[in-house]
Chains A and B, each alone.
Chain A
Amino acid sequence: METLQSILSVHPFFNDLPTQHIETVTGCVSNVRFKAGDVIFHEGEEADHFYLIREGKVALRIHSERRGPLTILTLGEGDILGWSWLFPPYRWKFSARAIEETRAFAADGKCLREKAERDHDLGYELLKRFAHVVEERLEATRLQLLNVYQDQ
């Protein structure tokens, strides 16, 4: 049987992460499942987890005063969902809703923050990866914005 640790170790996000760090991270991770239509997290609420999507599709949405919820990105297998657990005020800036049945690993953000704070080798590796995830999100949003401008 595949262990949680062996599944995590082949996830692209943890590529090249030393085994002892994978072990540490595994201690903060659990299996979760969402039905189509489930809200995974809600803008403004406390952000205490992030998710590695194993299967399914998730819409990342932001609320517009004028037009209600707008999907800014759709995430799927292999993607990382959520980084607001990293920074004060630890509140979600977006909402996430499963648009298909979704299986994911949920990592406890507080548990990881404490471990990263104690072990900066782990902390550096994790932060480097998350900074990159956030940067990729920035790039996706930038391209989307350029599309909107070019269509106008």
Chain B
Amino acid sequence: METLTLERILEEHPLFRGMNEQHLRTLVESATVVRFEPGDVIFEEGEPAHHFYLIRTGKVALQLVSYRVEPFTLMTLEQGDIIGWSWLFPPYRWKFTARALDLIRAISLDGRSVCAKCNEDHDLGYELMKRFAQIIENRVEALSVHLVAVEK
């Protein structure tokens, strides 16, 4: 019953739109339901990155935090958005901090297990990489716009 529900949730998430049923069933095996309270740090810059999250409800601030620097919010993500891509590349550490602004209901996916599945099934790998490359691209754009705004 739980598996069926999760599959339905994944199927309806914009990230997985257009993905076939077999791929969704494969991904469900790496998925867990998670929940964060307002103010919770979902992940922290510099920590090992082994997951990504599909936000179902609530708002998450993606922040750049560094010592000597006041944290600033690069973007706010919400229902239908994805947080986390550092699980894809060495050194597998978060480059940003994600903080829950409200009560967050999300699905967490295990990056190592998803990577292993992509390596076994390149059809799945292709579909997923296409989506993640675009997410990362979108973050580069946000960061560049921010850089242009603050540079003297």
Kindly supply a per-residue 1/0 record for chain A positions 119-143, scoring 1 wherever the CB is within 8 Å of any chain B CB and 0 otherwise.
0110110011011101101110110
Contact assessment for A144 and B68 in the assembled complex, using a CB-CB cutoff below 8 Å: no
Complex Cα–Cα for A137 and B133 (A): 12
Please classify the interface of chain A as helix (H, G, I), strand (E, B), loop, or mixed, using the class held by over half of its residues. Answer: helix
Tell me if B16 is interfacial: C-beta within 8 Å of chain A: no
* CB of A72 within 8 Å of the partner chain: yes
The answer to whether the Cβ of A83 comes within 8 Å of any Cβ in the partner chain is yes
Beta-carbon nearest neighbor of B72 in chain A = A149
User: Is A58 interfacial (CB-CB < 8 Å)?
Assistant: no
How many B residues are at the interface, by size bracket?
35 or more
Cβ-defined contact, A148 with B129, below 8 A? no
- CB-based contact A135/B136 at 8 Å: yes
Chain B, range 131-148, C-beta contacts under 8 Å to A: 132-134, 136-137, 139-141, 143-148
Q: Closest CB of chain A to B112's CB: distance in Å?
A: 15
- A86 contacts B68, C-beta separation under 8 Å: no
In chain A, positions 33-70 with a C-beta closer than 8 Å to chain B are 62, 64, 70
C-alpha gap A128/B70 in the complex (Å): 33
Q: Which of B59-89 contact A (CB under 8 A)?
A: 64, 66, 68-70, 72, 85, 88-89
Residues of A within 8 A of B (CB): 62, 64, 70, 72, 83-84, 86-87, 93-94, 116, 120-121, 123-124, 127-128, 130-132, 134-135, 137-139, 141-142, 144-146, 148-150
- Residue numbers of B with Cβ under 8 A of A are 64, 66, 68-70, 72, 85, 88-89, 95-96, 118, 122-123, 125-126, 129-130, 132-134, 136-137, 139-141, 143-152
